[in-house]
Amino acid sequence: MFLPVFRPGPCLLAALLLATPCAFAHGPEHPLPPAAPADEPVSGFVEAFDKAVAAGLPADIAVPGDVHRPRRDVAAAQLVVQDALNIEVDIPGMPAGRMYRGLFGGREAAITRIGTQVDISVPVRDGVDVTGYTAGSPDVLRERVRNPDAPAAGRRPVPRPRDESHVMPGWPFDMDPPLSSEPASLGRGVRAIEDPLAYSPHFFVLIHDDLDARPLHIHSVFAAWWLTELARKILPAENIRMSYRYRIPGVTDMPYGYPEALDNWHETVKAYAELYGLAHGKTYKHKYLLMSRDRPMTDAFGVAFEGGNEAMASTEGRVNIVAHEFGHTLGAEHGLAERRYEGWWWCVTNMATGTDDLIGDCHRFSYDNARRIRSYLRHGPDPEVLAERSFSMILN
């Protein structure tokens, strides 16, 4: 008895061969993005974005590729704008910017629309991917900013110090800080008691003169994704403002890199706020961070007053360094960070201190730190209230 032998035809074999690489190259976390219409111009994307958003959300927008790249890299991704966020982005010389939450190629994305720009920030395990479009320009900005301790292709990663951040305790303005031989340990964070509805959260990032970076670049890499979480999951009822400032004599040229740097930053911010009529000293909801090229202290990528209003961070740190330091000013703690299993591997939340090349970033706050931030902004920097509303759920 002879059994019939199945012989696949050439068409079927070709189909299998063509389909197989796609199946391996694009797993469930990175689906193959659908192609955009061939005649969709890159230079018209910003206008198409505005029209789609004005027509109502959610909106699906076909995003063209870079016409200057090889054809295999031109495949467009689908941008889904899900909803608008209660965030205003303030950069000098530009009209007020808006932020949106969405999906880019199937992945969570923070979208910033400001001036002539649309920047799409996608957090990834070892950094942040940024795709930027400019109205009327055929060029596409594509950039992946990797964490400094993330392994580079073909290189063995260099170990980093386990603790990348220091926290200084905050004190009330009407109280003298305790005497100490270490000036940097004297916190001068705001502890003013106020009506929680009198002010809204306002974050200032002052870019040091030694940092050759556009404010929008700093925003898209270090801030957009965590602001999205803040507005969406932690403070959905608050109006949040993010302001960037640079080239301010006597402020953004401040020396740093020594133990007293944070104390001196507090005094610098105080003088800056008085000069420009800002609410420093009147509210605990306004935060000021100096973003520098090098470390603010020799042994730390970032430093902040716990529950206070001032912080410092370096672009040498991980991409969550701004979220980490602002988190400290909002009451978040190292001890309430979590290790989670998300998607296909482990990750750590924003307030984790150590680094591990095998563990990625979750790009979000732990549940307990999110609760502390919410409590801080509703009730003020009261240590007793924060303690009552915080419950440890640390996963080892």
pLDDT digits (tens, 9 = 90+) for 281-333: 889 999 999 999 999 998 889 999 999 999 999 999 999 999 999 999 999 99
Split into its structural domains, the chain has a count of: 2
Please, which pLDDT band fits residue 77 given cuts at 50, 70 and 90?
A: low
- Rounded to an integer, what distance in angstroms lies between the CA atom of residue 382 and that of residue 192? 10
Q: Do 116 and 200 have their domain in common?
A: no
Domain stops at, among 113, 146, 179: 146
Q: Do 305 and 268 have their domain in common?
A: yes
Task: For residue 297, give its domain range.
Answer: 165-209+247-388
Please, which pLDDT band fits residue 193 given cuts at 50, 70 and 90?
A: low
Q: Do 366 and 311 have their domain in common?
A: yes
Q: Contacts for 383-386 with beta carbons within 8 Å, 24 or more apart?
A: 383/307, 386/307, 386/331
**Has residue 171 got a pLDDT over 60?**
no
Q: Do 46 and 180 have their domain in common?
A: no
Stated pTM of the model: 0.77
Exposure string for 57-68, b = 16+ CB within 10 A, e = fewer: eebebbbbbbee
Q: Do 276 and 338 have their domain in common?
A: yes
User: What token pair was written down for 286?
Assistant: 């306004």
For residue 300, what is the DSSP state?
A: B
Q: Do 199 and 327 have their domain in common?
A: yes
Q: Do 175 and 322 have their domain in common?
A: yes
Q: Do 101 and 188 have their domain in common?
A: no
Block residue for tokens 């732990």:
366
How far from the centroid of its chain's Cα atoms is residue 264's Cα?
Answer: 26
Q: Do 41 and 87 have their domain in common?
A: yes
Q: Is 173 inside any structural domain?
A: yes
Lowest mean pLDDT among 157-161, 321-325, 356-360: 157-161
Q: Do 379 and 299 have their domain in common?
A: yes
Residues in the chain: 396
Q: Is 222 inside any structural domain?
A: no
- Rounded to an integer, what distance in angstroms lies between the CA atom of residue 156 and that of residue 320? 22
Higher pLDDT, 272 or 169: 272
Q: Is 266 inside any structural domain?
A: yes
- Rounded to an integer, what distance in angstroms lies between the CA atom of residue 214 and that of residue 237? 30
Q: Residue 173 sits in a domain of what CATH number?
A: 3.40.390
Q: Is 396 inside any structural domain?
A: no
Q: Is 20 inside any structural domain?
A: no
Q: Is 234 inside any structural domain?
A: no
- Rounded to an integer, what distance in angstroms lies between the CA atom of residue 393 and that of residue 396? 10
Exposure string for 154-191, b = 16+ CB within 10 A, e = fewer: eeeeeebeeebbbbbbbbeeeeeeeeeeeebbbbbbbb
- Rounded to an integer, what distance in angstroms lies between the CA atom of residue 360 and that of residue 346? 7
Q: Is 185 inside any structural domain?
A: yes
Q: Is 23 inside any structural domain?
A: no
Q: For strands 140-146 and 345-348, give the pairing.
A: unpaired
**Has residue 161 got a pLDDT over 80?**
no
Block residue for tokens 């001032």:
310
- Rounded to an integer, what distance in angstroms lies between the CA atom of residue 372 and that of residue 394? 14
- Rounded to an integer, what distance in angstroms lies between the CA atom of residue 79 and that of residue 52? 11
Q: Do 68 and 169 have their domain in common?
A: no
Q: What is the pLDDT of residue 385?
A: 44
Block residue for tokens 């005094």:
267
- Alpha helices in the chain, H assignment, sequence order: 10-25, 45-54, 215-218, 224-229, 261-276, 321-329, 367-379, 383-388
- Rounded to an integer, what distance in angstroms lies between the CA atom of residue 355 and that of residue 127? 13
For residue 218, what is the DSSP state?
A: H
Domain stops at, among 146, 173, 199: 146
Q: Do 119 and 174 have their domain in common?
A: no
Residue 303's CB is within 10 A of a number of other CB atoms, namely 27
- Rounded to an integer, what distance in angstroms lies between the CA atom of residue 371 and that of residue 378? 11
Tell me the average pLDDT across 172-194: 36
